[in-house]
């Protein structure tokens, strides 16, 4: 598998030059050995004016309730942790739901995440994807681990969404340390079923196809918001199921 083939597959899915895309991934599913191959393909497909984002979630950090934006690793897979450590990558400041990125508009997407008090509030890159023409690329991991759906849920605040407050000790990139209280996500007793979005989106809003050896999905975030928000307002439990189900 070469980079040119991956770029062609990305364009076939609907990724365009100048896009901003949030990438969730199972690196093993791609069938390649070098993470630079897929990152290079993504950057080439996006072009100089595009922006590449990946979740840098760290809700399982050790020690708990302590976050260092330069040192705390990502807990959601190999590729986003590799991307976090890659030269030139920026990271938003949030103790559990930070985002890493590189590209023409990365500052606009990441800089004010510190202003939020919830995981995916209005200053988070996940929330911004919904209103700024963003796209979401799921590589080999199905549709369930779509963190941007939390930003949709934060519009409605269904009963399962939030847990209690927690105070975090945070060290930023300038090495300033401070404390801040956040409302964490809850989901106690519930399993996320964000794959149900597939049945709500029209052709074009969600496109599936091959990427390397993986099955990939590209979602237009604004259309996901419209479809998912309407469903959540009608049924706040639509995107979850009981863990014992």
pLDDT (0 to 100) of residue 107: 97
Query: pLDDT for 20-54, tens place per residue?
Result: 999 999 999 999 999 999 999 999 999 999 999 99
> Where are any strands of DSSP class E within the chain?
20-25, 51-57, 66-68, 90-91, 97-103, 135-139, 162-171, 177-185, 190-192, 206-211, 214-220, 240-242
Model confidence at 143, in pLDDT bands (50, 70, 90)? very high
Q: Considering the entire predicted model, what is its pTM?
A: 0.96
**How large is the average pLDDT for residues 196-208?**
95
Predicted confidence at residue 194, as pLDDT, reads 98
Query: What per-residue confidence (pLDDT) applies to 97?
Result: 98
Domain that holds residue 189: 3-242
pLDDT for 203 equals 86
Q: How many domains does the chain have?
A: 1
pLDDT tens for residues 161-175? 999 999 999 999 999
What is the pLDDT at residue 244? 81
CB neighbours of residue 34 within 10 Å: 10
pLDDT at site 134? 98
CB 90 within 8 A of CB 44: no
Q: How many CB atoms lie within 10 A of CB 28?
A: 13
Q: Is 65 left (phi over 0), alpha (psi -120 to 50) or beta?
A: left
Can you name the residues that pair with 56 across neighbouring β-strands?
Answer: 98
Residues of the chain above pLDDT 90, percent: 96
What are the residues whose beta carbons fall under 8 Å from the beta carbon of 136, sequence distance 6 or more? 21, 22, 24, 129, 146, 148, 218, 219, 221, 224
pLDDT at 7: 98
In tens, the pLDDT along 84-130 reads: 999 999 999 999 999 999 999 999 999 999 999 999 999 999 999 99
């Amino acid at each position: 598998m070469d980079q040119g083939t991956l770029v062609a597959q990305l364009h076939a899915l609907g990724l365009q030059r100048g896009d901003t895309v949030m990438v969730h991934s199972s690196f093993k599913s791609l069938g390649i050995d070098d993470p630079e191959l897929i990152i290079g393909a993504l950057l080439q497909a996006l072009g100089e004016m595009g922006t590449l984002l990946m979740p840098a979630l760290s809700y399982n950090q050790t020690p708990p309730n302590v976050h260092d934006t330069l040192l705390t690793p990502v807990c959601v897979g190999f590729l986003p942790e590799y991307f976090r450590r890659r030269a030139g990558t920026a990271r938003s400041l949030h103790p559990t739901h930070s985002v890493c990125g590189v590209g023409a508009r990365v500052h606009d997407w990441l800089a004010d995440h510190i202003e939020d008090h919830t995981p995916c509030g209005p200053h988070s890159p996940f929330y911004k994807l919904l209103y700024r023409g963003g796209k979401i690329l799921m590589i080999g991991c199905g549709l369930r681990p779509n963190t941007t759906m939390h930003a949709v849920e934060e519009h409605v605040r269904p009963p399962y969404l939030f847990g209690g407050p927690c105070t975090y000790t945070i060290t930023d990139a300038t090495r300033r340390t401070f404390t801040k209280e956040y409302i964490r996500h809850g989901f106690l007793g519930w399993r996320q079923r964000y794959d149900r979005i597939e049945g709500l989106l029209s052709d074009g809003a969600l496109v599936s196809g091959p990427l390397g050896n993986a099955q990939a999905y590209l979602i237009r975030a604004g259309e996901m918001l419209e479809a998912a928000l309407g469903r959540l307002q009608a049924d706040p439990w639509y995107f979850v199921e009981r863990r014992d189900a």
